[in-house]
């Protein structure tokens, strides 16, 4: 087990990717190997009483490795990106203070991006201008975006969309953003695989969820928390028309699968285009070796 210590910045690993790709299993492997603790980065796993449809780590998995930001909200409560960033920072500080490695795991791109970039948390009075600039930059191709970086004579040792956009924001708004420079050093490990394989994994997981009691969770939400934030999540909302006699159970299950597949595409697009994530193919023969090598280099870099 590798200890994390004597670092100039807090090292944080982020495991990101679409639903059902295997983020939980990898995170537990990494946490056990590198003396880490896991911080949930999924918007639905914060809620108590719903475990199956939110795909939480099992009780055994949570016993094997300490988990944070799971079961921290009642079903009637809301949870936002700001709430996530605030609580994630508390968890990071706690984990790092004990010499352990924080590992953030999830598929909610907005949450992860907000934490990594600190984009919406600063004290700048130019939020609307910043948002407008981000929207314009998001529309550019990689070549156009990188050309703007060169035009501003910004030196970047490694170029990707996320870093290029952030550099251009700092170039425009100056010290207001520069002063928000993070004390964290993030390594993002993106997981993906061939679309047909991912879709098979999604469909299979929904079938396993049904066997484990997904319908019972959806029934409870429909009866008690029909208007709650979590009730609008994929995996629950599709059953409400079934409860109302509008569709069959088979149609509801197929809707869960179809919406989950569509969501996975949106997740991949977000991580790729907005965060510049380079994905690792989970089925590559050397997948685990590639991940381990990335982590070793990251942890050994004292800069």
Residue ranges of the annotated binding site for substrate are 19-24
User: Which residues fall in the annotated binding site?
Assistant: 17-24
From the number of C-beta atoms within 10 Å of its C-beta (0-12, 13-18, 19+), residue 244 rates as exposed
Three-state secondary structure readout of the chain: CCCCCCCCCEEEEEEECCCCCCHHHHHHHHHHHCCEEEEECCCCCCECCCCCCCCCCCHHHHHHCCEECCCCECCCCCCCHHHHHHHHHHHHHHHHHCCCEEEEEECCHHHHHHHHHCCCCCCCCCHHHHHHHHHHHHCCCHHHHHHHHHHCCCCCCCCCHHHHHHHHHHHHHCHHHHCCCCCEEEEEEEEECCHHHHHHHHHHHHHHHHHHCHHHHHHHHHHHCCCCCHHHCCCCHHHHHHHCCCCCHHHHHHHHHHHHHHHHHHHHHHHHHHCCCCEEECCCCCHHHHHHHHHHHHHHCCC
For 35, 291, 300, 303, the CA distances from 1, given in Å and listed in that order, are 6, 16, 14, 22
User: Which residues fall in the annotated binding site for ATP?
Assistant: 17-24
């Amino acid at each position: 087990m590798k200890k994390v210590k004597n670092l100039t910045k807090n090292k944080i690993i982020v495991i990101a990717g679409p639903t059902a790709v295997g983020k939980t299993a990898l995170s537990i492997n990494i946490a056990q190997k590198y003396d880490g603790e896991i911080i949930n980065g999924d918007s639905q796993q914060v809620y108590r009483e719903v475990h199956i449809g939110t795909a939480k780590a099992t009780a055994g998995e949570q016993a094997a490795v300490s988990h944070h930001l799971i079961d921290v909200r009642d079903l009637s409560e809301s949870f936002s990106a700001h709430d996530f960033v605030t609580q994630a920072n508390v968890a990071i500080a706690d984990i790092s203070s004990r010499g352990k490695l924080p590992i953030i795991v999830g598929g909610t791109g907005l949450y992860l991006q907000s934490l990594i970039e600190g984009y919406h948390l600063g004290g700048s009075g130019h939020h609307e201008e910043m948002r407008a600039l981000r929207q314009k930059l998001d529309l550019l191709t990689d070549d156009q975006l990188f050309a703007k970086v060169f035009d501003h004579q910004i030196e970047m040792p490694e170029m990707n969309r996320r870093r290029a956009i952030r550099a251009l924001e700092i170039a425009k708004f100056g010290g207001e953003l520069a002063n928000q420079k993070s004390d964290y050093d993030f390594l993002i490990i993106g997981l993906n695989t061939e679309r047909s394989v991912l879709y098979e994994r999604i469909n299979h997981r929904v079938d396993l969820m049904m066997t484990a009691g997904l319908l019972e969770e959806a029934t409870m939400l429909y009866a008690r928390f029909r208007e709650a934030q979590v009730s609008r999540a994929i995996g629950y909302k599709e059953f409400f028309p079934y409860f109302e006699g509008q569709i069959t159970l088979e149609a509801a299950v197929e809707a869960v699968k179809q919406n989950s597949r569509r969501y996975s595409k949106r997740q991949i697009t977000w991580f790729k285009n907005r965060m510049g994530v380079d994905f690792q193919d989970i089925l590559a023969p050397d997948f685990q070796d590639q991940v381990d090598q990335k982590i070793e280099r990251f942890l050994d870099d004292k800069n």
